Amino acid sequence: MAAGGITSAGQVACFCCGQLISVGDITPFDQHPDQGVCARCAEWLHNRSKPSSVNTSRPAWRRVKRRHWRRD
């Protein structure tokens, strides 16, 4: 690899998964523009940054729904 992580074919490795992708298809980091991630890893990171949809206002044992079984 050449300096900056760019290969002679104009590709760079994704910082997350290591896949070689073209320089134009990488999503660069703000603080480190010479490094970045591929589109798949960028989507995964975006989904991980979303808040959890789990309701944490009640204790875990109260969040479990009770099932009422009928006996005929």
User: Is 57 part of any domain?
Assistant: no
Is there a contact between 19 and 29 (Cβ–Cβ < 8 Å)?
Answer: no
Span 8-30, pLDDT tens digits: 678 889 999 999 998 888 888 88
Span 45-64, pLDDT tens digits: 888 887 766 555 666 666 66
For the segment 27-36, the average pLDDT, to the nearest whole number, is 86
As for how many domains the chain has, the answer is 1
Determine the Cα–Cα distance for residues 41 and 28; give it in Å rounded to an integer: 12
User: Is 36 part of any domain?
Assistant: yes
For the segment 22-48, the average pLDDT, to the nearest whole number, is 88
Label residue 1 by pLDDT band (50, 70, 90): very low
Q: Which domain holds residue 31?
A: 3-49
User: Is 32 part of any domain?
Assistant: yes
Tokens of 56: 């944490």
DSSP-based three-state secondary structure for 16: coil
User: Is 11 part of any domain?
Assistant: yes
CA 12-50-26 angle, to 5 degrees, is: 15
User: Is 69 part of any domain?
Assistant: no
Residue 5, sorted as left (phi over 0), alpha (psi -120 to 50) or beta, turns out to be left
